[in-house]
Amino acid sequence: MEHKTEEWLSKAYDYEPPRRGQIREGVILGVEDHGFIVDVGLKREGFVPYGDVRRLGEEVSSQLKPGQEVMARVVQPQDREGNLILSLYQAQLEKDWKKAAQMLESGEVWQGIVTGCNRGGLTVKFGRLDGFVPGSHLSALNPRRHSSDQRERVFQQYVGQELPLQVIEVERGRRRLILSERLARRQVRQQQLERLLNELLEGQVCQGTVSRLCDFGAFVDLGGADGLIHISELAWRHIRHPREVVQAGDEVQVYVLRLDHRRKRIGLSLKRLQPDPWSLVDLTYFQGQLVSGVVTGVADFGAFVTLDIGVEGLVHASELADPPPDHPREVVHRGDELVLRVLRIEPSRRRIGLSLKQVSEQERAEWLEATRSENVGDAAAADDAPTADDVSFTGEPLPDSQELPVASVSVADEVAPGVFEQM
């Protein structure tokens, strides 16, 4: 008898009375008119009102039955009638808050559906919690470009969409759950970038879409992450802005130029998939030849002109007019189409020296007339013009009138050293 008394006292001493807010595992014992009877391992059964069960939603509440294990939160340890009042709904909320805190710590990205919006941002369901995405954490919203009315229209477009989201703030006491779509997309792109860095090989050719342009190049989406085509790798010719070659949304084939694992960057090239026009210069042009080109830039020392195969030559200021102008802009402007004489060709140094003043008015008129005839199908007029093939096969020297004046070359070299290396 003494042993049984000690055992009873031990159990009574170990008994932990229910506390408000406590989460306990339980089993549904039965269903009554006004709710569920649940055993949560205490000295008495707990009661879950039907109103609480209905908050779980029809899909969940319809599946509850005797013998099913559940999580319950103690709402009242003892009401006026001595009943232990429990909540299945609040237990679920507590579980969602704990999960949100874990995701805040891990930085995990998850997919959420936008259920609504207000003037400040979007509402998203996180389990049974309402999360909030501020407008400042939406990648498609730019506070500098969008007015308050435009912001609301942007928010409305998100409703019903599924977005990648990241938990950035959890305050259980204030029922505050803040999410970010902008940071989630950034993290996803970083993960995609890591994948591409491991999958791609330098020298590989792949397909992509131009995602955006900037002054120094074009970004290309390779499938969830961007590589960069530097402006110097967009074309063999000199360009002032990437929009001269590509536009956002263009589908392009690109050459993988370099993979920088340390800095997490993918360098791409567009021009490496095209023949280098400088390799064709010797076959296309010769000293003394008349050519046409478009002025692509004007500097203090002369004008840059792009020829038909895509190489860029220089008309030094001293070769623009006689006497030379105070500034090249007095004679030529960007976009002008000129008839020029080839003075010097240096493919290894990627240089072509050109002259405007050494083309007579008669030569210019004849060239333009021949060009007009060629455009309307009169090929006979074009046959009279000398070609690079004619010169290379006959080996005949050029007439004296087409020889390069030594003074013109030396002035260009002295006034504009290194200009062509910048191209």
Distance between CA atoms of residues 169 and 11, nearest Å = 43
Supply φ then ψ for residue 93, to 5 degrees.
-60, -45
Q: Tokens 């038909």 appear where?
A: 308
Residue 91 has what pLDDT?
85
In the DSSP assignment, the letter for residue 395 is -
Q: Which CATH class is domain 277-422?
A: mainly beta
Q: Which CATH class is domain 20-91?
A: mainly beta
β-bridge pairing 35-39 and 23-31: antiparallel
**Long-range pairs of 369-376 with CB within 8 A, sequence gap ≥ 24:** 371/292
Nearest-CA neighbor of 165 among 112, 120, 113, 103? 112
Distance between CA atoms of residues 35 and 37, nearest Å = 7
In the DSSP assignment, the letter for residue 263 is T
- CB count within 10 Å of CB 206 equals 19
Q: Which residues pair with 26 in a beta bridge?
A: 70
- Cβ distance 316 to 302 under 8 Å? yes
Distance between CA atoms of residues 238 and 278, nearest Å = 13
Residue 375 has what pLDDT?
62
Structure tokens at 266: 């993918």
Structure tokens at 119: 């003037």
Residue ranges, CATH 2.40.50.140, the chain? 20-91, 107-186, 200-273, 277-422
The residue type found at 282 is: D
Distance between CA atoms of residues 401 and 246, nearest Å = 42
Write the CATH number of the domain with boundaries 107-186: 2.40.50.140
Residues of the chain short of pLDDT 70, as ranges, are 1-16, 61, 82, 143-147, 374-423
SS3 143: coil
Pick among 1.20.272.10, 2.40.50.140, 2.40.110.20, 3.40.1280.10: CATH of 200-273: 2.40.50.140
CA-angle at 375, arms to 372 and 379, nearest 5°: 95
**Whole-model pTM?**
0.56
Distance between CA atoms of residues 278 and 420, nearest Å = 12
In the DSSP assignment, the letter for residue 45 is -
- Cβ distance 294 to 405 under 8 Å? no
Q: What is the pLDDT of residues 281-317, one digit of tens each?
A: 888 899 999 999 999 889 999 999 988 888 889 999 9
- Cβ distance 131 to 123 under 8 Å? yes
Q: Tokens 């970010």 appear where?
A: 180
Q: What is the pLDDT of residues 363-386, one digit of tens each?
A: 888 888 887 776 665 444 334 444
Residue 160 has what pLDDT?
93
Beta strands in 321-406 (DSSP E): 337-346, 351-355
**C-alpha neighbours within 13 Å on the C-beta side of residue 290:** 21
Q: Give, in order, the Cα–Cα distances in Å from 344 to each of 281, 355, 375, 397, 406.
A: 11, 10, 28, 15, 10
Nearest-CA neighbor of 224 among 215, 211, 233? 211
- Cβ distance 155 to 121 under 8 Å? yes
Residue 377 has what pLDDT?
54
Q: Which H or E run includes 373?
A: helix 361-375
